[in-house]
Structure 1
Amino acid sequence: MPSSTEDRIAVSTWSLHRHLGTTYPHDLTTTAIGPVQETYGEGTESLLDLPSALNNHGYARMELVSFHLPSRDPVYLGELRDQLDTCGVALQTLLIDDGDIAHPEHGARDEAWIASWIEIANELGARNARIIAGKQAPSKAALDRSVAALRSLADGNAGGVRLTTENWFNLLPSAEEVTYVLDRLEGKVGLLGDFGNWTGAGKYDELAKVFGRAELCHAKANFIDGDLDATDYGRCVDLAEAAGYSGPYTLIFDSELPVNEWDGLAIERDVILSRLARA
């Protein structure tokens, strides 16, 4: 667990789309990296430059979304790992951002694809790898397919990376389904809790039920006309802490312009640190 309040803050490459500019879309039929796309424009910095930029902005933890990785070549992976080490930035999590292991037809294919990314996570020295539990409606059959695939992925993981899943997509719409999956995995796979994936009147109660088991957190904030909804954000941090969460908060920022990405991240960080200081 993080040793200081400041060390409880991480940044996801998801939050720096415009800064990076390019993405490399996935094709689940192959492990090859897809052709580069200027999804968010040309960008201002490469992924290899990002550890230095994070360090300059006071961040020491990074999460990497898989579609931001331009190459799986061992030489490139070594260069990225070296940059992280040199800049003192820990690769907290590789976010494996595709696949549906609960799919009745394509689940086995997607499981194999995800397994190949777990190998990349180990090569990069990532501490964690996040896997999507599934995108199917939460029937018992779909949940059990997810559990079986997650257990298989954990058993086949030859490295030290810790596998986690997230309260995300149709398969895990509430605490009930998250608990069902985690209980049956008996600690083989952890939980990454996300503030923004559940909505509605029951959101806070549902999040409170799972954050006691969370090892990681995606701290996504809502920005309204450029202003952070501090009431919602602060309440999410408070409920996580009250539930016993003691891990890092990964800043998730995806507001539209005119909010600058680095400025938006700083606003989120300040809110979280102020709530932790009050605890």
Structure 2
Amino acid sequence: MDPNNDSANCEVQFLEESILEAGFESYIQSEYELPYFVDVDYPESAPDTPREYLIGLAKRVLNAGGNRTGFTHHTEIRRSLHGWAPEYNEDVDGDPGYWGECAFGLSSHEINFGRLEGDGETKEQKARTVLAWARDNIDAEVLVEIEENYVSDIRSMWDDAAALAEGELQIRKFQNSPPDNVGGWHRFDASDERVKLAYRANNHDVPVVIGVYEAGEDLDVHEWTIENWEANNGDPLETPKNRFPASTRTNDGPYARLRNHLQTYNADPLPVDTETDTNSSAPA
């Protein structure tokens, strides 16, 4: 986890409070029981500063449109912004001095798509202007709903980042200390040294072996029928493949795919007298 993300990641505008205000690292520590050494990468698509949060929220407000906000077209938003904006040198409560310039400076493209332009400070000023205008011109309940959805989406990104780190931790544990049994799958020691980890089971009424093995300089994983496996003396390169491993969403390493395959296929244990080139016995 990036220690820079332990500060507040948002500056709520329409909500009374937000779970994001504690910061990314504090959120992960409070919501997930991960070991201290597990590094959770901050999601690239999530805002990681209060400035980025404001810019993203302003985009949500501009993109809301329709019956929810009372503005069905970006030209209506433009007219409302211009009518709301303070005039030059007009003293308006809460105006930091740039509302008028930003309100009149927003292009049709920015209003239509919510993609504010300029450097970081300029975009923040535009975002604060849009949010101040929205507070005066859009129903408060609608604004609360918009920000709630925004916070929910960010939280989902944080949760996905934690789930990915947790999954990678489980894969490392599986690789370093593989269990003897995963459902109906039973681990065995293959005679070929190129096979790094192998399991066997009755998968869809077919006795099979699946394993991680050396394929040149890389590791690969496949499933073979025990009949073909034995006919080729347990050679992972010569044995015809029976089934590719079940695909994974994010972790695509060979051990991740093997683990996912074992969890995906609810196979049955093989009978004790089933023969394979193994140094371990089937489970009782």
In the superposition, the TM-score normalised over structure 2's length comes to 0.20
- Determine which structure has more spread, i.e. the larger CA radius of gyration: 2
In the superposition, the TM-score normalised over structure 1's length comes to 0.20
More strand, by proportion: 1
Flag the structure with more relative contact order, 1 or 2, with Cα contacts below 8 A and sequence separation at least 6: 1
